[in-house]
Structure 1
Amino acid sequence: MTDAYKHTQYPAGMKATIDPESYDTVLDLFDEKTRQFADKPAYTCMGHTLTYGDLDRLSANFAAYLQNNTDLQPGDRIAVQLPNILQYPIAVFGALRAGLTVVNTNPLYTERELEHQMNDSGAKALVVYAGMAAQAIKVQPKTPVKHILVTEIADMHPTLKRVLINTVVKRVKKMVPAYDASRVGSFRQALSQGSRHQYKRTPAGHDETIILQYTGGTTGVAKGAMLTNRNLVANMLQCYEFFGLALKDGQETVIAPLPLYHIYAFTVHCMTLMLTGNHNILIPNPRDIPGFVKELNAHRFTGFVGLNTLFVGLMNNEDFKNVDFSQLKLTISGGMALTLAAAKRWEETTGCKISEGYGMTESSPVISFNPNGYQQLGTIGIPAPSTEVRICDDDGNLQGFNEPGELQVRGPQVMKGYWNRPDDTAKTIDKDGFLKTGDIAVLQEDGYLKIVDRKKDMIVVSGFNVYPNEIEDVLTQHPKVLECAAIGVPSEKTGEAVKVFVVAKEPVEEKELVDFCRENLTPYKVPKQFEFRDELPKTNVGKVLRRELRES
């Protein structure tokens, strides 16, 4: 059981193992691929495209600026706080080429969250979108940050378009709060200054931390997962084995609406699709569904990366069904559980099945995936190549097939540990190198994994375990339910009872939902309480925050 991947039947065209030593560093791979695909489009945003050759040149300019115009030294941390715009890959790869460690930072952070992350990481520099510059300046005196570089949304566009877009965003839409420009530097000017120098390649170790990726902080204080060259190279190669069943090198166009600062999108769009020389269409604001659909109409895309709430939001837009899906070959889902209702509706609308995967920040992130052509709805697929999985009960005993327990994982993509938190690292990764995911799963005899739920979210009704995902999966198949979230609430009679928060598509009576649940669930799983809401609280990447619902 501890080496389940050895017994998993991988589809033809996939390898069961990868060689994480095939590239010493991410930059070795970057240098090779930007040369190989120099003339191919790498990233398009708001109608402007950078080729891989452009990305090579501009990131080298930024690296040269950091080396020649700042006091930053190899190993220092630099935070990148940008939405999905062209500056993001330039800043990240430029920082890595200068030998710095990148701290991916959420542009929607509050002052408190930003201050914590800058202090915890020890970041000495920050590249920030202009809309967050005022906040960054306010937080700076309470952190180690010495250098702030600000960029406006269209700074990589040709002059006339740049001035027009930036002016509209700032003056018309009022999306950029006023800030003291004398206290910050300009990202555009940094690129110009760097172009006068040659950047010097900084030697980096295979096991050197290059990305500090902070967890969402839904359980305790947000912690920085130390992701090394080896971790990221390994996960790139693992994803390549899965995606290669559908996508070909240098031939694909993939929609990128999820935030690049999140490890899911980062590994897909900045790592794996760079490895394959494919084209990413960056969507800066996917919450603007009408604008998003309009952008989709401008491209003959072959891949789409999303999550359940985004799929539902798009499919509820009347114009979405008129998009040209004729070239769509691969739809990837992760970040949260995919409901059967959303998966079936997406396939009916687009003609493309969704391939659901599973991962964690601590595993770079991909642990398992549903291979294209071999999808099993309701599962998270098979373990990634060279990934060992085991299912353990609360006492650490191995569970048999189809017996629920905590999913634990070992592989080359598992992080080095948490930044400056050895105690937390020891609680999460055992002495044998297995990462404790905190998710309850079962391993099927065919090698496919199924997540039952988060350990902490499990509801115990009269001694029976009830998993919220199952309740939610059933209710979202009701025609009047848009989305929902189940939690456990105290009950004198049964210890806990199931309560469901519902966002309805149209008015619906509680009795109708109870009857529907009774048709599909055993009696102890049927919700006892319903609360109707206009929306559910979510993280910035679309995960429903059950914790907030419990506290409400």
Structure 2
Amino acid sequence: MSDFLHTPATKAGNMNSGSTIPERFLRVADALASKVAVSDNEKQMLYGELLSASIAMSGRIGDMTERPNVGIMLPNCAGFAPAFFGTILSGKTAVPVNYLLNPRETGRIIADAGLDTVLTTGLFTDALEGLVPNVVKMEEVSFNESPSGFTPPRVRPDDVAALLYTSGTIYRPKGVMQTHKNILSNIDACLRAMRISEDDVFLAVLPGFHTFGLTCAILLPLLTGGRVHFIARFAPAAVMRALRESGSTIFMGVPSMYKALLKSISDGDSATVPLPSLRLCVSGGEALPVETGREFQRKTGVPLIEGYGMTETSPVIALNRPDRQKWGTAGLPLDNLEVGTFDDDGNRLPPGGDGELWVRGPSVMKGYRNLPEETAEILTDDGWLKTGDMCVIDEDGFIKITGRKKEMIISAGKNIYPVEIERTLEEHAQVFEAAVIGVADEVRGEVPMAFVVPMPGTDLDRASLTAFCREKLSAFKVPKKIQVVKEMPHTLTGKVLKRELRPEA
């Protein structure tokens, strides 16, 4: 494979060099050609095979379109890797598309990204009908022919590598432009924080169209020389089986996944579950209930650390470390990022002050595609990104998220952040999940209202739950009403869709 590189033969020791994704991928794949790179329940590909397939795919893409962006609409599978790296090696920007959207929503993203080509599977071709002229079914692509005449693309670190559309912006698509520098700087900082090596095997359940899944569960291992085993969708029994049988050493998920895995363990009447190869679990996407994290560690014997990030920071901002952790916090900032808390006037607050978290560093996005005003609102002239999350940074540097600025409830002039109430509710033994919103009140203007999902097999008493909250919270933070529901509406990555919560009449 060295013929494909414009550099001397590579050694494993310097695989993590390279300022663009093509440089890094070519170096890693060449050095580890005979090592397994990706696998799913049907096939596996060595790094050498993945490199050949990606180069072949890049040639096909180059023949099909002159546009700068290429869509990828695939479930979690081994074929995602050559689709992504083929796009990158063609010198274009990868646009992972959420396959759960309806055709109208998909069409808005395709139009905003200017796509005329989408790499997909026969499962999704109907959803793309009439939206793009070039639809490639990856299962029909042959990678048997040896590629020839390949020249690495001329891309720069500040060129856009991935265009990711954020959730909750269906009516006006908001595409986050992540550069090669953004993604690689985040990967390198995560490598140092989690001590990842080429011996690690990642179990990929998070979708590739989400920044947590794409960068942390797929690109991080594959640009480090590790292996990725894909599971098409999250099912607790299948995940537990894969964790035992695939040799996985690292699993990344959202809190709802860990809750479901715990329930699966309990249903199996087992106090503990041996997972001999698994050495680390990471939770992100939303706040991890402390008791969920502790119980998962007790049941599995595997460290579970919480992190925090957003698409606009490519994505990780902070992470608890395997050897340095504070429950209930998002952890310490990555070593190449600067963080601070700021008030509404843009003044930096002293340590311990509760303000909006701002972030500055190499993983901060280039901006929103086609949205200069929205970009200017979130990025300052001196490079700070306003996260929209309220937090406190303690004396040790750990970040504790106290709420979402836009979700803040103002009750009789007092600020209430729903996340504090949600965490309190989820400490109750009979509560599986909780979500809090603000509802109108004639006297106080707005008051908190809670939606709770009971633990299976329990008969949740709302009066006792209210009493529990009174013991833990200030009186004005106690939910005025508690509504018991069978389940919450979620995004694919586990976040509660609060806009779909409806109070009973």
| TM-score after normalising by structure 1 | 0.84
- Indicate the SS of the match to 2:422: helix
Among 75, 83, 88, the residue aligned to 2:80: 88
- Indicate the SS of the match to 1:43: strand
List aligned pairs for 1:391-406, cutoff 5 A: 391-406=341-356
* Counterpart check, 1:334 vs 2:321: no
- Indicate the SS of the match to 2:72: strand
Deviations 1:134-159 (A, max 9, x none): 1111x42xxxx3210124xxx4xxxx
- 2:409 counterpart residue number: 459
Among 199, 203, 220, the residue aligned to 2:154: 203
How far apart, in 2, do the equivalents of 1:457 and 1:381 lie?
Answer: 22
Q: CA deviation at 1:470?
A: 1.2
Q: Decide whether aligned partners of structure 1 residues 219 and 390 sit closer, same or farther in structure 2, where only a CA change above 3 A counts.
A: farther
Q: CA deviation at 1:352?
A: 2.2
* Counterpart check, 1:29 vs 2:16: no
List aligned pairs for 1:120-131, cutoff 5 A: 120-131=112-123
- 2:133 counterpart residue number: 146
Deviations 1:208-247 (A, max 9, x none): 1121111113496221111111111111111111111xx4
Among 227, 231, 239, the residue aligned to 2:190: 239
Query: Which moved further from structure 2: 268-277 or 258-267?
Result: 268-277
Among 446, 468, 493, the residue aligned to 1:541: 493
- 2:107 counterpart residue number: 115
Q: Decide whether aligned partners of structure 1 residues 446 and 196 sit closer, same or farther in structure 2, where only a CA change above 3 A counts.
A: closer
Q: CA deviation at 1:91?
A: 0.2
Q: Decide whether aligned partners of structure 1 residues 485 and 333 sit closer, same or farther in structure 2, where only a CA change above 3 A counts.
A: same
* Counterpart check, 1:427 vs 2:377: yes
Contact 2:278 2:302 in 1 (8 A): yes
List aligned pairs for 1:403-414, cutoff 5 A: 403-414=353-364
- Indicate the SS of the match to 1:60: helix
Q: CA deviation at 1:411?
A: 0.4
- 1:63 counterpart residue number: 58
Among 43, 57, 75, the residue aligned to 2:38: 43
Among 405, 428, 436, the residue aligned to 2:386: 436
Query: Which moved further from structure 2: 217-226 or 309-318?
Result: 217-226
Among 473, 476, 481, the residue aligned to 1:524: 476
* Counterpart check, 1:267 vs 2:215: yes
- Indicate the SS of the match to 2:274: coil
Contact 1:296 1:323 in 2 (8 A): no
* Counterpart check, 1:296 vs 2:247: no
List aligned pairs for 1:490-509, cutoff 5 A: 490-505=440-455, 506-509=458-461
Deviations 1:483-502 (A, max 9, x none): 11011111122222111111
How far apart, in 2, do the equivalents of 1:313 and 1:549 lie?
Answer: 21
- 2:201 counterpart residue number: 253
How far apart, in 2, do the equivalents of 1:89 and 1:253 lie?
Answer: 15
Contact 2:22 2:152 in 1 (8 A): no
How far apart, in 1, do the equivalents of 2:345 and 2:178 lie?
Answer: 29
- Indicate the SS of the match to 2:325: coil
Q: CA deviation at 1:405?
A: 0.8
Structure 1 spans left out of the alignment, 5+ residues: 1-20, 156-185
Amino acid at match of 1:257: V
Query: Which moved further from structure 2: 87-96 or 345-354?
Result: 345-354
* Counterpart check, 1:214 vs 2:165: yes
- 1:484 counterpart residue number: 434
Q: CA deviation at 1:117?
A: 0.3
- 1:230 counterpart residue number: 181
Q: Decide whether aligned partners of structure 1 residues 323 and 195 sit closer, same or farther in structure 2, where only a CA change above 3 A counts.
A: farther
How far apart, in 1, do the equivalents of 2:75 and 2:359 lie?
Answer: 31
- 1:103 counterpart residue number: 95
Q: Decide whether aligned partners of structure 1 residues 78 and 470 sit closer, same or farther in structure 2, where only a CA change above 3 A counts.
A: same
Contact 1:301 1:325 in 2 (8 A): no
How far apart, in 1, do the equivalents of 2:177 and 2:275 lie?
Answer: 38
Contact 2:54 2:83 in 1 (8 A): yes
Query: Which moved further from structure 2: 538-547 or 435-444?
Result: 538-547
Q: Decide whether aligned partners of structure 1 residues 219 and 367 sit closer, same or farther in structure 2, where only a CA change above 3 A counts.
A: farther
Contact 1:300 1:324 in 2 (8 A): no
Contact 1:389 1:409 in 2 (8 A): yes
| TM-score after normalising by structure 2 | 0.92
Contact 1:64 1:200 in 2 (8 A): no
Amino acid at match of 1:253: V
Q: CA deviation at 1:205?
A: 1.4
May I ask how many residue pairs the two structures share in their alignment? 484
- 2:8 counterpart residue number: none
Contact 2:243 2:275 in 1 (8 A): no
* Counterpart check, 1:308 vs 2:255: yes
Q: Decide whether aligned partners of structure 1 residues 219 and 109 sit closer, same or farther in structure 2, where only a CA change above 3 A counts.
A: closer
Q: Decide whether aligned partners of structure 1 residues 251 and 22 sit closer, same or farther in structure 2, where only a CA change above 3 A counts.
A: closer
How far apart, in 2, do the equivalents of 1:295 and 1:232 lie?
Answer: 28
Q: CA deviation at 1:473?
A: 1.0
Amino acid at match of 2:40: C
Contact 1:217 1:223 in 2 (8 A): no
- Indicate the SS of the match to 1:297: helix
Q: CA deviation at 1:22?
A: 5.2
Q: Decide whether aligned partners of structure 1 residues 22 and 291 sit closer, same or farther in structure 2, where only a CA change above 3 A counts.
A: closer
How far apart, in 1, do the equivalents of 2:120 and 2:311 lie?
Answer: 22
Q: Percent identity?
A: 34
- 2:127 counterpart residue number: 135
Contact 2:222 2:228 in 1 (8 A): no
Contact 2:54 2:82 in 1 (8 A): yes
Contact 1:293 1:320 in 2 (8 A): no
Q: CA deviation at 1:404?
A: 0.9
- 1:380 counterpart residue number: 330
Contact 2:435 2:498 in 1 (8 A): yes
How far apart, in 2, do the equivalents of 1:503 and 1:483 lie?
Answer: 5
- Indicate the SS of the match to 2:178: strand
Amino acid at match of 2:311: T
Contact 2:17 2:24 in 1 (8 A): no
Contact 2:198 2:224 in 1 (8 A): yes
Deviations 1:322-348 (A, max 9, x none): 643233221111111111121111111
- Indicate the SS of the match to 2:501: helix
- 1:180 counterpart residue number: none
Q: CA deviation at 1:349?
A: 1.1
How far apart, in 2, do the equivalents of 1:108 and 1:125 lie?
Answer: 19
Contact 1:410 1:433 in 2 (8 A): yes
Amino acid at match of 2:50: L
Structure 2 spans left out of the alignment, 5+ residues: 1-15
Contact 1:98 1:199 in 2 (8 A): no
